[in-house]
Every structure is written in structure tokens, then in C-alpha cells.
Amino acid sequence: MSGPPPPPGRAAGAAPRVVTVLGTRPEIIKLSPVLPLLDRRAAQTVVHTGQHYSYEMDARFFEELGLRRPDRALAVGSASHGEQTARMLAGLEPVLLELRPDAVVVQGDTNTTLAAALAAAKLGIAVVHLEAGARSFDRRMPEEINRRAVDHMASLLLAADDVAAGNLRHEGIGSDRIHVVGSTAIDAVVQVRDRLDGARVLDRFGLTPGAYAVVTAHRAKSTGADVLPGLLEALAVIAARQPLVWPLHPRTRAAMQAQHLAMPAEILVTQPLGYLDMLRLVRDARALLTDSGGLQEEAAVLGTPALVLRDETEWEYLVAAGVQKLIGHTVRSVCDGAAEWLTPEGLASLRARPLAVRPGAAARAVETTLASL
């Protein structure tokens, strides 16, 4: 390994000590190609904050992706953002003080990402941020607050693409700390793509390939009282024309209950699905309607057109590539977007632009991380 001499406390030639922190479904998935590589090349401790904790949102993904169990579990569970983040900070600090790693690796934009980066930065431990530089430019989004804060605490910023790297430079972060490595979400799909035919989700729900659309929506904005009723109304209109399947996130279920909203009868609702079932469902759908970040990239790799239920996206390159469209989240915009793009011609025009994906992000991320320590 090249790079500067080892920091005090690490013997020359000893494997670098890395603590990787995760806590939610997307972090488990997007780190799944990275964790085994770090186990091989570094002395890695995996810490699970417990932000997500139910079998459907957590343990199932470790099983499906063949990942070893985390070394430490903080079990913070659900709470308000402040309370949840504070519990994580209080849980992480003693772990980091005990382990004194050379670096803490975090991914994405969740409260887990923020807490781990903050705990590490305050202790003078290097923070490595995967998916650095993603921006929606909507500062009201909790995810935007988290990723901006984390990027400015990180010592190594691993960006998915040139747009993200440009965002970081524009914010004054030195180019020497920014590396474009690609997206590990793409690696995650590529590594399981051959197993999707074995996923039985279509049989379970009586679905015909190419005849249905998939919807997911769980962001704070989508589940607010100003947006969710209209979104449900628009989705009911779409579901009246073709089967619409919605694996419902616990946040959305809770928001519907709190707002006394009923699920339109036309929509086929399922529990949150496993990774392979979800990818199979998306692969064989005529279209995906989503507010999720990860699913936008997954749909693109699987060749399924996506209609994004937002006004902006961190994955601008997918819009530029012509494989997805932003259709907003109001009754009007979603119905108009569906009328324009959920037609045979509209979908054919989105499908006509195959996306060239660049696998290998996980390996590049690990190489770059180790070279920096």
C-alpha cells in the first residue's frame, strides 16, 4: 500500500483499522459490495446503528446478500430526527474511542450517516464518505441536510459521478479529497442480476411481466399532509388503467394512519419486499414510479423506465440519459406525467436509450480509501 506513513498507533505494515457504520436498508444494499472487500483488505469492524430494525427492513438483506452480521449493534430504533441522531452519537462515541480506527466509512445521506460522520470527526478520525456530492438543492430535505454536513466533515469524498464531484468543488472542497469512483448501487444490482429469475414475486401476486407498474414513495416530502393525499389520488387514477403494485414503506404506512388516509382499492399493496423480489418486480414492470434514490439507479440498470415523483433528482445523469422523467408529486403533475409517459409510445421512447453502466465502484472505493490511510 502506498500513501503517507501509518498514523500513530498503527504499526508499519499492519492492516488499516476501519469502522464501517450502517443502519438502514439502502446503506446495507449499497455497502454490500464494499463490506467483503474491506474485510479482505483491512481490519474492519461493522457497526449497525439499528435505525432500521424490522426483519423486512434489515436482517433479510444481510441474509439475501450473503453478508456477515455486524460486529456491534446499537439498536437505537425509531425516534424524532434529533433524538434518533443523538442516540446514535452517544452509542458511537464509546465504540470509536475503544477501537480508535484509522477511518470511519459511511454511505449516503441518512441520520446514521450524519451521526457516524459527526462522532468520528469530533474525535479527529478520518471520515470516508461514499456517494459524496449528491445534491437535490432542496435544503428542506433531511437527506440534503445530512449529506451536505457529512461532505464537509469528510476527509475523503468518493463521488458517484462528475456532477457530484463538481458539486463538491463548487462548495469549496479541495479537489485532492474528491475521487469519482462510480455508484456501488450499480455494483449491487450487477452482483445479483443472474439470481432474479429465481425470485417468485410475480407468481405470488399473480402479475404478468410487462403488464403492471411499480410504485414506491416514502420520503418526508411525499408523506407530508400537503402531498400524500394528492399523490394517492393520482396513483388511484393510474391504477384504474393498469395493475399498480406498491411495496409499502413503514413510514408511509404510519403517515397514512396518522392522516386517516385509506389506500385506494385499485392499488395492490405489499409488505416491504426483499432485495431480489424488489429487483425482479422492477425488472419485469412496464414502469417504475418512485421517489427513492436507489431505485432510480436500479431501474436504469435493469432497463425499466422510471417516472420520478419529485421535482428534482440527485441522479441528473439518468434524466440526461433519457431513461427517466421527473413528474412531480401533485395530482395534476403525476396524472399529466402518466398520461404522457405511461403509454406504449412514451415508454418505448424511454426504453430506446440503453444506459451504459460502469461497474467496479466498490473496488475503486476500497482502493482509494486504503491508499489514503
**Beta carbon of residue 79, minimum distance to ligand UD1 (angstroms, whole number):** 8
- In the block, cell 441536510 appears at 145
Q: Is 283 in the site for ligand UD1 (CB under 6 A)?
A: no
Rounded Cα–Cα distance for residues 360 and 18 (Å): 21
Helix ranges (DSSP H) in the chain: 25-31, 35-41, 59-64, 81-99, 111-122, 142-153, 162-170, 184-192, 201-205, 228-239, 250-258, 275-283, 293-302, 316-320, 331-341, 344-351, 361-372
Q: Is 142 in the site for ligand UD1 (CB under 6 A)?
A: yes
Residue number, 154 or 350, with CB nearest to ligand UD1? 154
Rounded Cα–Cα distance for residues 118 and 129 (Å): 12
Residue among 36, 53, 233, 358 that touches ligand UD1 (CB under 6 A) = 53
Rounded Cα–Cα distance for residues 239 and 327 (Å): 16
Residue number, 79 or 236, with CB nearest to ligand UD1? 79
Residue number, 25 or 286, with CB nearest to ligand UD1? 25
Find the part of the chain contacting ligand UD1 (CB under 6 A) among 104-112, 259-267, 275-283, 316-324: 104-112
Q: Is 109 in the site for ligand UD1 (CB under 6 A)?
A: yes
Residues written for the chain: 373
Q: Is 286 in the site for ligand UD1 (CB under 6 A)?
A: no
Q: Of 282, 298, 248, 284, which is closest to residue 268 (Cα–Cα)?
A: 248
Residue number, 5 or 137, with CB nearest to ligand UD1? 137
Residue among 17, 25, 30, 148 that touches ligand UD1 (CB under 6 A) = 25
**Beta carbon of residue 7, minimum distance to ligand UD1 (angstroms, whole number):** 30
**Beta carbon of residue 295, minimum distance to ligand UD1 (angstroms, whole number):** 10
**Is 179:363 a contact under the CB 8 Å cutoff?**
no
Q: Which of residues 222-281 bind ligand UD1 (CB under 6 A)?
A: 249-251, 254
CA end-to-end distance (rounded Å), the chain: 9
**Beta carbon of residue 52, minimum distance to ligand UD1 (angstroms, whole number):** 4
**Is 115:146 a contact under the CB 8 Å cutoff?**
no
Q: Which of residues 32-51 bind ligand UD1 (CB under 6 A)?
A: 51
Rounded Cα–Cα distance for residues 116 and 129 (Å): 10
Number of residues that bind ligand UD1 (CB under 6 A): 20
Find the part of the chain contacting ligand UD1 (CB under 6 A) among 18-26, 118-126, 327-335, 352-360: 18-26
Residue among 20, 32, 110, 216 that touches ligand UD1 (CB under 6 A) = 110
Residue number, 177 or 251, with CB nearest to ligand UD1? 251
**Is 149:120 a contact under the CB 8 Å cutoff?**
no
Q: Is 26 in the site for ligand UD1 (CB under 6 A)?
A: yes
**Is 207:238 a contact under the CB 8 Å cutoff?**
no
Q: Is 24 in the site for ligand UD1 (CB under 6 A)?
A: yes
Q: Is 75 in the site for ligand UD1 (CB under 6 A)?
A: no
Rounded Cα–Cα distance for residues 291 and 324 (Å): 12
Residue number, 58 or 161, with CB nearest to ligand UD1? 58
Provide the 8-state DSSP code for 315. -
**Beta carbon of residue 89, minimum distance to ligand UD1 (angstroms, whole number):** 14
Residue number, 51 or 372, with CB nearest to ligand UD1? 51
Question: What order do you get walking across the sheet with 178-180 strand by strand?
Answer: 72-73, 43-48, 17-22, 103-107, 126-132, 156-159, 178-180
Here the cell at position 122 is: 469530533
Point out the residues that are catalytic: 218
Q: Which of residues 187-216 bind ligand UD1 (CB under 6 A)?
A: none
- In the block, cell 457516524 appears at 116
The residues of the shown chain that bind ligand UD1, judged by CB under 6 A, are 24-26, 51-54, 57-58, 78, 109-111, 142-143, 218, 249-251, 254
